[in-house]
Structure 1
Amino acid sequence: MELRLLVTFEKVATVLSFTRAAAELAYAQSSVTGQIRALESSLGTELFERLGSRIRLTEAGERLLPYARQIIALTEEARAAVAAGGEPAGSIAVGTMESLTSYRLPPLLELFHHRYPGVRLALRPTLGDATRQALRQGTYDLGFLMEPETEHEGLESEVLTEEPLVLVAGPGHPLTGRAGLTTGDLAAAGLVGTEPGCPYRDLFEAELAAHRPSFTEYGTIEATKRGVAAGLGIALLPRIAVREELASGALVRLDWEPPFTLFTQIAWRRGKRLPEHVRLFVEQARRLVQESP
């Protein structure tokens, strides 16, 4: 079996589309079709069922896919090791979210920039559902998640740290200094949040659902913090994202504890053999995130 045929097969099997696979591989669609037929001919079996405009893997294709991924990963690892003379090298596509990229990951990114220049990082901003799907499809090598669950179908994951959340307001907000706040108090106070799909925004909204909460969406954490500091409402945010503002007095912590817990995790596709440079990234992420305050 030729490596290029396995690469094409793995891409088609991941995206389940000859057209999309051709675009991502920069091939003509006829080339992709021809390569799949050549691989099927060499193996003496069909790898895909054609269902009109859709395709799906046959049982033989399902059996071949993990072997193809292992062969491709080993080839990339060998190529990187030879090219780098033993130094860690290779590319890593990482799915992550704003709160982690901005407040958890800078020490890790700085370390790889200076100490491991042969490792090329591509950070892809996505939220939990999209990150998990991209990991299962093989589009991302690794993904950072902030989730209440720590088990994810089709993925291996490791909890790096619990991610405390705090409810914050501007220093002049009417709820500042009040004890024993209820969900009714919060829903009536004006809510500022990031976009839907953000895990702590969604959990907060679900907790207040009985009071029909209305959120003013600012999209990013920085914009949300500015809105809250200006007295436009209150927001539930990761403590690490508001640490400086709480210390300076620009934001004030309100007396309400969320009844849910989130965990920052790193994840990859179950059964995937991680190349050396990817394993190094996981090890350093574990060390630096767990050491951070």
Structure 2
Amino acid sequence: MEFCQLQTFRLVAAHRSFSQAAAELHLTQPAVTQQIKHLESEIGELLLDRSGRNLGLTPAGEVFLTYTHQILNLTEQAVATVRQYSDQKGKLSIAAGTTNTIFRLPLILQNYRNEHPQIEIQIRNGDSKLTTQLVRDNAVDLGFVTTINTKDSSFQVLPIFKDSIWLIGPKNYPSRVTIPDLEKESLILFRNGSGFRIFLEENFHRNHFIPKISMEMESIEAIIRLVQTGFGLSFLPEIAVQEELVGERVQKVEVKEWTSMYRQTYLIYRKDKYLAWPVKAFLHQVCG
């Protein structure tokens, strides 16, 4: 099995086309077709379904594509790591959710870049599920997540931040309410099914609270803006609303007999991953 065959298979699978893959690889279509046939012959399974009008993956092809991505990503990472030692340059790739990407990473990365200006930094934005998968596939070096699978032992998990979750309302809103009062108010929350929404719903149940949800948003900035203009209240991480509170653009609201809410952020990476020096330097800065 040759490395170029894996690269060709990945492109054919991505385009669902021999001709488009050939054009990107600057090869003839027969050459691409021949590479795939040799790969299938060596594996002993058909990887591509050629029976319909459109090219597709067989079940074996779906499985093999997952490993192909991992092999190629790991190979690219190995080459980049080796090259770092010759020129002391390198790359750091991170995935994180919206809150950390907007409110935490800019300052952290600014300090990191001041110390290591030669390092290329790449950021991917995604929820905890996507971030975990990117780390698992070696598509990124490190991930900031708020939910972890305690049964998965393949990751190194480092707790690094703990956020208070506050109820906020527009300025001049009462600073203290009861749970029955809050049930009459309109809430603006993240979309149903998101990690933060699931976290809130668990806490709503714990506090015997039935919310009246008027709006669902994807953007934390949109939620803050809607709260400011009086469209409703929202539960948000402390770090996301600090500037608005200092500027008196929103009001922190205490709920009587409400169990305090905290959300932990973890930094994860694969236990079997070789940590190049840019990654080690970042871990030292963040974790000490």
Q: Which category of TM-score, normalised to the shorter sequence, fits these structures? A: 0.7 to 0.9
2:276 aligned residue: 275
- Checking the alignment, whether the CA contact within 8 Å between 2:203 and 2:261 is kept in structure 1 is no
Q: Report the alpha carbon displacement of residue 79 of structure 1 after superposing the two structures with TM.
A: 1.3
SS at match of 2:189: strand
In the alignment, structure 1 residue 247 sits paired with structure 2 residue 243: no
Q: Report the alpha carbon displacement of residue 170 of structure 1 after superposing the two structures with TM.
A: 1.9
Q: Report the alpha carbon displacement of residue 40 of structure 1 after superposing the two structures with TM.
A: 8.1
Quickly say closer, same or farther: Cα 1:71–1:56, change in 2 above 3 A.
same
2:215 aligned residue: 216
Q: Report the alpha carbon displacement of residue 163 of structure 1 after superposing the two structures with TM.
A: 2.0
- Checking the alignment, whether the CA contact within 8 Å between 1:96 and 1:127 is kept in structure 2 is yes
2:264 aligned residue: 263
Q: Which structure 2 residues correspond to residues 120-131 of structure 1 after superposition, within 5 A? A: 120-131=120-131
- The whole-number CA distance in structure 1 between the counterparts of 2:32 and 2:287 is 39
Query: Greater CA radius of gyration, 1 or 2?
Result: 2
Quickly say closer, same or farther: Cα 1:63–1:201, change in 2 above 3 A.
closer
- The whole-number CA distance in structure 2 between the counterparts of 1:99 and 1:61 is 32
1:190 aligned residue: 186
Q: Which structure 2 residues correspond to residues 31-110 of structure 1 after superposition, within 5 A? A: 46=43, 50=47, 52=49, 53-56=57-60, 72-82=76-86, 85=87, 87-90=88-91, 92-110=92-110
- Checking the alignment, whether the CA contact within 8 Å between 1:47 and 1:61 is kept in structure 2 is no
Q: Residues 247-286 of structure 1, C-alpha deviation per residue, up to 9 Å, x if partnerless? A: 3433222223556542111223442223222232233232
**Paired AA for residue 78 in structure 1:** V
Q: Report the alpha carbon displacement of residue 238 of structure 1 after superposing the two structures with TM.
A: 0.9
Q: Report the alpha carbon displacement of residue 206 of structure 1 after superposing the two structures with TM.
A: 4.6
- Checking the alignment, whether the CA contact within 8 Å between 1:135 and 1:143 is kept in structure 2 is yes
Q: Which structure 2 residues correspond to residues 11-26 of structure 1 after superposition, within 5 A? A: 12=10, 17=13, 19=15, 26=24
- Checking the alignment, whether the CA contact within 8 Å between 2:70 and 2:137 is kept in structure 1 is no
* Equivalent of residue 199 in structure 1, options 178, 195, 201: 195
- The whole-number CA distance in structure 1 between the counterparts of 2:246 and 2:71 is 53
- The whole-number CA distance in structure 1 between the counterparts of 2:254 and 2:168 is 9
Q: Report the alpha carbon displacement of residue 24 of structure 1 after superposing the two structures with TM.
A: 9.6
**Paired AA for residue 158 in structure 2:** E
Identity of aligned residues (%): 22
Quickly say closer, same or farther: Cα 1:125–1:73, change in 2 above 3 A.
closer
Q: Report the alpha carbon displacement of residue 243 of structure 1 after superposing the two structures with TM.
A: 1.8
**Paired AA for residue 251 in structure 2:** V
- The whole-number CA distance in structure 2 between the counterparts of 1:161 and 1:130 is 20
- The whole-number CA distance in structure 2 between the counterparts of 1:214 and 1:276 is 47
The TM-score, its normalising length taken from structure 1, stands at 0.72
- Checking the alignment, whether the CA contact within 8 Å between 2:145 and 2:267 is kept in structure 1 is yes
Q: Report the alpha carbon displacement of residue 239 of structure 1 after superposing the two structures with TM.
A: 0.8
Quickly say closer, same or farther: Cα 1:138–1:38, change in 2 above 3 A.
farther
The TM-score, its normalising length taken from structure 2, stands at 0.73
- The whole-number CA distance in structure 1 between the counterparts of 2:135 and 2:44 is 22
Q: Residues 96-139 of structure 1, C-alpha deviation per residue, up to 9 Å, x if partnerless? A: 22211221112222123333222212222211222222222333
- The whole-number CA distance in structure 2 between the counterparts of 1:78 and 1:31 is 31
SS at match of 2:144: strand
Quickly say closer, same or farther: Cα 1:196–1:31, change in 2 above 3 A.
farther
Paired positions, count: 271
2:143 aligned residue: 143
1:290 aligned residue: none
- Checking the alignment, whether the CA contact within 8 Å between 1:40 and 1:47 is kept in structure 2 is yes
